[in-house]
């Protein structure tokens, strides 16, 4: 259950940052124009930040194209526009300003820009000049498209769209047009936040035949998808350098088999023969996100070794496309890799990787496999791209949302060039973020972030919050979140304690894997070690401690509620697992519960599974004694809403003060603007009620 950031179209917003002076399509203040009344961040200010993403570099290496998203609170609506900024630095130029969203933008060889938009009602592909002029429509596909990629020679187009392959009730019973029901005959009938009626397929079309209305479905009739949802995007689909093959990631399994496995492979579809070949056959975990060397000789990709383990080490693999020899380059590199980018000479790869809860840029030489760290700093890089003799990447920290940086690969020097949120950041006071190494119960050292309130006074006593990470294997790195935002928590007047407990990446694979089949074990002791160490500080009021978390963090709060021995005075659990017996049969991705819990609860001879189910939080409700806020979204099919209802009901039946914040239209996250602000207000009000008396 990776608690990561998925790029979701529903979360895009109208932006008007450092623009070109053009008349704005919407009449509301932008972050560049906002004047705050206070230097303390509020939920409304948090949701006013521009959300930068989709950065890509022009063919000449001189300009960066990117999108920025903003929310209009009154409209409860999002918008997204496109900008360009010189790699060398300078004023950013807004090149779109429309009621629609422009996204998935990329450069073409002639310096023009292609992008997706719903200008014609459905999402279609368009092309325009680099200044935003002369917009032309490229596709008019029925129902719209979801993503695209041009072939390297720009003679062909790949696009993806949903294809209906599962009959509904009306298909089976044409005379029952008003029947409202589903007939389900196989597993994996719903996923993440939607019912599975369509499968995303890949289509290919020629670009020289006018407006494209229909391409060839290269997966015709196949009841599986590419890219693999919910995390995959167009990074899972690519062209070989010679424009002769479409490479794509797919998990070619159906029903129960699909739900039980993470074994995705990379396939080549040859345009001339129409045949498909499995290029990673025999590799049993996730294989995806392929990148081809400019000389066409190699395919690099991200690979996991074990089937069913979604948090396995992400390895860097390279295949010689002629000899078909595969080399595992990061065998002795105890870190994950991501965002693979070849150098122009095909001799090296850049990538991002986390170590000790920060994500930096690295470079690996193909000849000897040597890996060098390019950047240093307390931050997370989300991407890396080439821009002439420089690199471009988007970077965040706990104290700053994403901005674009220019990096000198020789010196590691990093220079900000986008400044989307500078005006807001200049008006806000953020608390200090401190790194601490805390001793655990088994004498290990655990990195813990401590975030202080703005204008911190060491002579005062503050309530403190223990933050419990989700995932369960997602690093408490230097991320910037619009829900679990540490600076927002601190701005509410709390010390925030955020430990990288057992079961988190960037501390080696042994540390990361310890959590599997040990829910309620060492990682929970790690949480207690962190809060027990920090509560000893003279500025922390140990009688006013709270614990908060989502997903696995929500489970952690439920588990702590039955075991904390009077440490805490308030809890908040968002989308957490409460009843493991029910969770095993309610969740849709069975590989997760099978791997992490060890198997089904009915397997009485399976000691690992029996230990897991014995540690289900619902078995310790008799020990609950602390007020709890439960939050859940109805469209969360990973951990269904009944888990939250059970926890809320249990607390109320026990006579414990409890509140239930329920979102009928949200999934595992909270994506809506007004819902997000409501989440923040309710979060603060609950903690203030019990920790600031």
Answer whether residue 6 shows pLDDT above 80. no
> Facing residues of 326 across strands?
319
> Quick one: pLDDT at residue 31?
79
- Consecutive H or E run containing 614: helix 607-614
548-584 confidence digits (pLDDT tens): 999 999 999 999 999 999 999 999 999 999 999 999 9
Alpha-helical (H) ranges within 18-95 are 43-46
Over the Cα atoms of the chain, what is R_g? 25
Whether the Cβ atoms of residue 546 and residue 690 lie closer than 8 Å to each other = yes
Answer whether residue 13 shows pLDDT above 90. no
- Consecutive H or E run containing 550: strand 540-550
Helix orientation angle between 552-561 and 522-534, rounded to the nearest 10 degrees? 70
Instruction: Taking the CA atoms of 110, 112, 117 and 119 in sequence, report the sign of the dihedral they define.
Output: negative
> Facing residues of 288 across strands?
302
Alpha-helical (H) ranges within 252-297 are 256-260
Averaged pLDDT, 283-301: 98
Lowest-confidence segment of 2-16, 137-151, 319-333 by average pLDDT: 2-16
How far is it, in rounded angstroms, from Cα 85 to Cα 180? 51
> Quick one: pLDDT at residue 617?
98
- For residue 139, the 8-state DSSP code is B
How far is it, in rounded angstroms, from Cα 492 to Cα 581? 37
DSSP per-residue string spanning 327-369: EETTTT--S--EEEEE-TTSSEEEEEEEETTEEEEEEEETTT-
> Quick one: pLDDT at residue 693?
80
> Quick one: pLDDT at residue 313?
98
Whether the Cβ atoms of residue 300 and residue 316 lie closer than 8 Å to each other = yes
Predicted confidence band of residue 32 (pLDDT cuts 50, 70, 90): confident
How far is it, in rounded angstroms, from Cα 5 to Cα 475? 12
The percentage of the chain sitting over the pLDDT mark of 90, rounded to a whole number, equals 93
618 is catalytic: no
Predicted confidence band of residue 1 (pLDDT cuts 50, 70, 90): very low
Instruction: Check 516, 551, 556, 612 and give the catalytic one.
Output: 551
Alpha-helical (H) ranges within 454-551 are 486-491, 509-513, 522-534
Compute the mean pLDDT over every residue in the chain, rounded to the nearest whole number. Answer: 95
Answer whether residue 16 shows pLDDT above 60. no
> Quick one: pLDDT at residue 26?
56
How far is it, in rounded angstroms, from Cα 527 to Cα 532? 9
> Quick one: pLDDT at residue 25?
60
> Quick one: pLDDT at residue 7?
34
Cα separations in angstroms, 399 against 402, 429, 467, 674: 10, 10, 17, 23
**Using CB atoms within 10 A of its CB, is residue 324 exposed (0-12), middle (13-18) or buried (19+)?**
exposed
pLDDT: which is higher, 635 or 31: 635
173 is catalytic: no
Q: Omega of the bond prior to 34 within 30 degrees of 0, cis?
A: no
Answer whether residue 109 shows pLDDT above 90. yes
**Using CB atoms within 10 A of its CB, is residue 322 exposed (0-12), middle (13-18) or buried (19+)?**
exposed
The two most distant CA atoms of the chain are separated, in Å, by: 75
Phi, psi of 511 (to 5 degrees): -65, -40
Give the CB-side neighbour count of residue 72, counting CA atoms within 13 A: 15
Nearest to 638 by CA among 554, 560, 558: 554
Lowest-confidence segment of 9-18, 225-234, 586-595, 653-662 by average pLDDT: 9-18
Give CA angle at 382 (376, 384), nearest 5°: 75
Whether the Cβ atoms of residue 293 and residue 300 lie closer than 8 Å to each other = yes
Cα separations in angstroms, 575 against 554, 599, 634: 6, 22, 10
> Quick one: pLDDT at residue 290?
98
131 is catalytic: no
How far is it, in rounded angstroms, from Cα 528 to Cα 133? 58
The percentage of the chain sitting over the pLDDT mark of 70, rounded to a whole number, equals 96
Pairing between β-strand 414-416 and β-strand 400-407 as defined by DSSP bridges? antiparallel
Averaged pLDDT, 251-273: 97
Dihedral, 685, 688, 691, 693 alpha carbons, nearest 10: -120
> Quick one: pLDDT at residue 29?
62
Whether the Cβ atoms of residue 142 and residue 213 lie closer than 8 Å to each other = yes
Q: Which residues have a Cβ under 8 Å from the Cβ of 579 and sit 6 or more positions away?
A: 616, 617, 618, 643, 646
Answer whether residue 69 shows pLDDT above 60. yes
Cα separations in angstroms, 585 against 258, 580, 588, 600, 605: 15, 9, 8, 9, 19
Structural domains of the chain ordered from first start = 429-691 (3.40.50.1820)
């Amino acid at each position: 259950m990776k608690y990561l950031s998925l790029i979701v179209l529903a979360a895009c917003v109208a932006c008007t940052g450092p623009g070109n002076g053009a008349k704005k399509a919407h009449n509301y203040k932008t972050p560049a124009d906002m004047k705050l009344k206070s230097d303390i961040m509020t939920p409304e200010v948090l949701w006013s930040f521009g959300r930068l993403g989709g950065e890509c570099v022009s063919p000449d290496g001189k300009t960066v194209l990117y999108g920025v998203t903003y929310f209009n609170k009154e409209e409860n609506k999002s918008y997204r526009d496109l900008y360009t900024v010189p790699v060398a630095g300078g004023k950013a130029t807004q090149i779109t300003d429309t009621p629609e969203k422009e996204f998935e933008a990329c450069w073409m060889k002639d310096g023009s820009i292609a992008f997706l938009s719903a200008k014609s009602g459905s999402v279609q592909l368009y092309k325009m000049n680099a200044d935003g002029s002369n917009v032309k429509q490229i596709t008019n596909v029925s129902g719209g498209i979801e993503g695209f990629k041009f072939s390297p020679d720009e003679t062909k187009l790949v696009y993806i769209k949903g294809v209906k392959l599962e009959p509904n009730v009306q298909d089976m019973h044409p005379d029952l047009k008003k029947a409202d029901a589903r007939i389900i005959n196989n597993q994996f009938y719903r996923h993440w936040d939607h019912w599975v009626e369509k499968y995303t397929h890949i289509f290919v079309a020629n670009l020289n035949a006018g407006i494209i209305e229909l391409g060839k479905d290269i997966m015709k009739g196949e009841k599986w998808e590419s890219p693999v949802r919910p995390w995959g995007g167009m990074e899972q689909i690519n062209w070989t350098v010679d424009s002769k093959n479409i490479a794509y990631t797919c998990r070619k399994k159906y029903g129960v088999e699909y739900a039980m496995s993470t074994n995705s492979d990379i396939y080549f579809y040859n345009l001339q023969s129409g045949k498909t070949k499995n290029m990673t056959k025999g590799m049993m975990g996730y294989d995806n996100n392929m990148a081809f060397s400019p000389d066409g000789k190699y395919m690099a990709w991200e690979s996991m070794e074990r089937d069913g383990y979604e948090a396995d080490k992400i390895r860097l693999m390279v295949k010689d496309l002629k000899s078909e020899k595969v080399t595992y380059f990061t065998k002795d590199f105890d870190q994950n890799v991501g965002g693979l980018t070849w150098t122009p000479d095909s001799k090296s790869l850049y990538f991002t990787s986390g170590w000790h809860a920060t994500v930096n840029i690295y470079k690996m030489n193909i000849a000897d496999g040597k890996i060098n760290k390019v950047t240093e700093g307390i931050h997370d890089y989300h991407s890396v791209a080439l821009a002439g003799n420089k690199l471009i990447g988007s970077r965040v920290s706990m104290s700053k949302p994403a901005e674009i940086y220019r990096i000198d690969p020789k010196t590691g020097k990093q220079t900000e060039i986008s400044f989307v949120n500078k005006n807001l950041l200049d008006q806000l006071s953020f608390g200090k973020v401190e790194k601490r190494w805390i001793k655990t119960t088994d004498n290990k050292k655990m990195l813990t972030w401590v975030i202080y309130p703005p204008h911190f006074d060491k002579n005062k006593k503050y309530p403190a919050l223990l933050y419990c990470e989700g995932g369960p294997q997602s690093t408490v790195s230097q991320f910037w979140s619009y829900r679990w935002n540490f600076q927002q928590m601190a701005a509410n007047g709390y010390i925030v304690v955020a430990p990288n407990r057992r079961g988190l990446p960037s501390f080696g694979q042994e540390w990361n894997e310890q959590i599997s089949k040990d829910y309620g074990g060492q990682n929970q002791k790690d949480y207690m070690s962190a809060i027990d160490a920090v509560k000893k500080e003279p500025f922390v009021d140990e009688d006013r401690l709270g614990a908060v978390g989502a997903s696995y963090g929500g489970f952690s709060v439920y588990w702590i509620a039955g075991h904390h021995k009077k440490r805490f005075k308030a809890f908040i659990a968002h989308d957490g697992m409460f009843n493991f017996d029910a969770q095993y049969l309610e969740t849709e991705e069975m590989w997760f519960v099978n791997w992490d819990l060890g198997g089904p609860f009915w397997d009485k001879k399976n000691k690992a599974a029996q230990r897991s189910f014995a540690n289900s939080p619902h078995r310790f409700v008799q020990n609950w004694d602390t007020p709890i806020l439960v939050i859940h979204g109805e469209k969360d099919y990973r951990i269904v809403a009944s888990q939250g209802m059970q926890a809320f009901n249990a607390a109320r039946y026990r006579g414990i003060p409890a509140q239930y914040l329920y979102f009928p239209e949200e999934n595992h996250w909270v994506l809506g603007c007004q819902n997000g602000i409501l989440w923040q207000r309710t979060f603060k009000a609950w903690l203030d009620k019990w920790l600031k008396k």
